[in-house]
Structure 1
Amino acid sequence: MSLILWTVLGYVLGSIPFGLAIARALGLGDLRKIGSGNIGATNVLRTGNKPAALATLLLDSGKGAIAVLLARYFGGETAAMLAGGAAFLGHCFPVWLGFRGGKGVATFLGTLIALYWPLGLIACLTWLVTALISRISSLSALLAAALSPVFAWAMGRNELILVSLFMAALIFLRHKANIARLMNGTEPRIGRKG
C-alpha cells in the first residue's frame, strides 16, 4: 500500500507545471503558444528570460529529486525508484493539463541525481558536453537518456537500469518531432527565441 501511495505522490509532485506557472507569473505568455509549445526550461529560454528558464530548470529537476528523497526516507529504495519514475511521468503527462506536459529532461536528471548522484552527474555531464558542442538541447537530452541505462550498468547499479530505461524510452517518445527535425537539419539551437 505504501508503494502505491509513494507512486501517486510522486506523480502529483511531478505534474506541477512550474514552467507554465513561472511564465504566467512573469507575464511571458502561455508557453504552450511559444516556440516548441513545451512547458520546460528550454522553451522558457525562448522567451528571452534567462532567470525564468533557470528557475524552471531547478524546480523541474527538484520535483523529481524531492519525490525520490522523501520516498526513500519514509519508504525505502523501491519506493524511491517508483516515486522518481512517477514524478517523471507526471511531468510528461500532467492530469491538470490534459496529460500534455513537458519532455521530462530536467525531471529525469533530478531524479537520477537523487537516486544515485554519480549516475545523475554523468548524465548531466553528457547533456552539457553535447550541448556545448552541438548547441542543440534535444540532441543533448536524447544522448544523455540513451546512455543512462548503460552508465547504470557500468557503475554496477543494476537496480537502476529499469527506471533509467523507462525514462529514456519516454524521453525518446516525447522527442519524436525533435528527432524528425534533427534528421532533416531543422532543429533549433539553444537560446533561439520562439
Structure 2
Amino acid sequence: MERRGKTLQTEILWTAPALALLIGYLLGSIPFGIILTRLGGAGDLRSIGSGNIGATNVLRTGRKGLAAATLLLDLLKGAGAVLLVAHLWPGEGPLAGVGAFVGHCYPVWLRFRGGKGVATLMGIVVALHWPVGLVYAAVWLGLLATIRISAVAGMAAAISAPLAAALFGRFDLVLMLLALALLVIWKHGENIERLLAGTEPRIGDGGDGVDTGADTTTGAEIRQHD
C-alpha cells in the first residue's frame, strides 16, 4: 500500500510539469499571423516577405492593423500560457512559458517552422515577473525607435531578460530566460550574418515592404524578427 502511494505521488509529480509544457506548447503554436492575414484577405503569410509568421512580416502586407493584432496576440499567448498554468498548478508557470516559446518557434502545425519568439517571450516575461517585463519592453521599444533595426532590438531585449531577472533577485528565472535568449539569437542567425555584412535593413527604409506592399519584398531582401 505504501509503495502504491509513492507511485501515485511520483505520477502526480511528473504529470503537472508535463501538462504545463504541453498546454504552453499548444497555445504558443497557434499561428496568429497566418490566421489573421488569411481572414483579412492578405493571402498566405508564408509566401510574403521573409515567409516568417510574426508581426514584422505581417507588416509587409501593408496591413498595420493586422500586424498590431498579431503582435498583441503573440504576446498574449505567451502570457496566457504562463498565467493559466500557474492558476492550475502553482509553480509550473515557467515551464508553460518554455512550452509557449518553443511552440511559437517550432509549431507542429507548420512543420516546425515558426517565428523568432520576441513578442511571445515578452508576454512570458511580463507574466512571470512584470518588472523584468518592463525592462524587456523598454529595451525592445527603445531600440526600435532609435536604431530602427528590428533584429537588434529583439535580440537585445531577449538578452536583457535574464540580466533584469538577476537584478530584481529572481534567480529562479535566470537560467530559463538565458536559454530562451540564446534561442532567440539562434533564430536570428541570418540577421546576424547581414548585420556583420552591413546589409541588414532598417524599419522604414523601403525594403521592409510596408509602403510598397508584399509583392516587392522577397525573403532574400529582408528577414526581420517575428
**Both proteins in one fold, TM over 0.5:** yes
Q: Give the distance between the partners of 1:181 and 1:29, measured in 2 at CA.
A: 28
Q: For residue 95 of structure 1, what is the aligned residue in structure 2? A: 108
Q: Give the distance between the partners of 1:37 and 1:183, measured in 2 at CA.
A: 22
TM-score normalised per structure 2: 0.83
CA displacement at 1:132 relative to structure 2: 0.8
Q: 1:152 aligned to 136, 158, 165, which one?
A: 165
- What is the one-letter code of the residue matched to 1:108? L
TM-score normalised per structure 1: 0.97
- What is the one-letter code of the residue matched to 2:190? A
Q: Is the 8 A contact 1:42 1:190 kept in 2?
A: no
- What is the one-letter code of the residue matched to 1:74? L
Where in structure 2 are the equivalents of 1:100-119 lying within 5 Å? Answer: 100-119=113-132
In the alignment, structure 2 segments of 5+ residues that lack a partner are: 1-14, 210-216, 218-226
Q: Which of the two has higher C-alpha Rg?
A: 2
Kindly provide the CA deviation profile for residues 64-117 of structure 1, in whole angstroms up to 9, marking residues without a partner as x. 00000011111112x100001110000000000000000111100000000001
Q: Is the 8 A contact 1:91 1:104 kept in 2?
A: yes
RMSD: 0.9
Where in structure 2 are the equivalents of 1:1-194 lying within 5 Å? Answer: 1-77=15-91, 79-191=92-204, 192-193=208-209, 194=217
Instruction: Name the SS for the 1:38 alignment partner.
Output: coil
Aligned residues: 193
Instruction: Name the SS for the 1:27 alignment partner.
Output: coil
Instruction: Name the SS for the 2:146 alignment partner.
Output: helix
Q: Give the distance between the partners of 2:121 and 2:47, measured in 1 at CA.
A: 24
Q: Give the distance between the partners of 2:108 and 2:41, measured in 1 at CA.
A: 24
Which structure: greater helix fraction? 1
Q: Give the distance between the partners of 2:73 and 2:173, measured in 1 at CA.
A: 23
CA displacement at 1:123 relative to structure 2: 0.3
* Identity between Structure 1 and Structure 2 (%): 53
Q: Give the distance between the partners of 2:201 and 2:61, measured in 1 at CA.
A: 14
